[in-house]
Amino acid sequence: MKKLESREDIELLVNSFYGKVIKDEEIGLFFNEIARVDWAKHLPKMYAFWESVLFGQMSYKGNPMGAHFPINEIRAMEQKHFDRWLKLWTATVEEHFAGEDADQAIYKAENIAKLMAFKMDLARRL
């Protein structure tokens, strides 16, 4: 199995992940109907995000948590949605890659998702 090591690898991973996401019955609607994602803009952001998280590239300049609050206000982003997101992410990583950076891609997503789920839940209580 291939190592996750280049920008091209990240593009493949991200494209194939969102290919699953948009068809998904549980979380597809957040992207297709609620945020009505402009994929030509979103995908390059996500390449930069993962390049920064995994390879320390500093190419992502954004607010990953902040982007989700408006979505959470329209439709609650609950633990079950994060579980599903992580299941699709982990499956996509494992389909294509193995090794330390592949493990890190899963581990870091788990941590960010945990924090994000907590913040979305808190925001709904305030």
- Residue among 43, 106, 112, 123 that touches ligand HEM (CB under 6 A): 112
Residues 6+ apart with CB under 8 A from 110: 86
- Binding ligand HEM (rule: CB under 6 A), the pick from 22, 67, 76, 98 is 67
DSSP string of 27-89, one letter each residue: THHIIIIIS---HHHHHHHHHHHHHHHHH------S-TTGGGHHHHHHS---HHHHHHHHHHH
Q: How far is the CB of 8 from ligand HEM (least distance, A)?
A: 19
Question: Least distance from C-beta 80 to ligand HEM, angstroms?
Answer: 9
105: nearest Cα among 23, 25, 2, 29? 2
Q: Report 13-52 residues binding ligand HEM (CB under 6 A).
A: 27, 30-31, 35, 37-38, 42, 45, 49
Taking the least distance from each CB to ligand HEM, the nearer of 49 and 97 is 49
CA 55, CA 32: separation in Å to the nearest integer? Answer: 30
User: Which residues make up the interface to ligand HEM (CB under 6 A)?
Assistant: 27, 30-31, 35, 37-38, 42, 45, 49, 62, 64, 67-68, 71, 77, 81-82, 85, 109, 112-113, 116
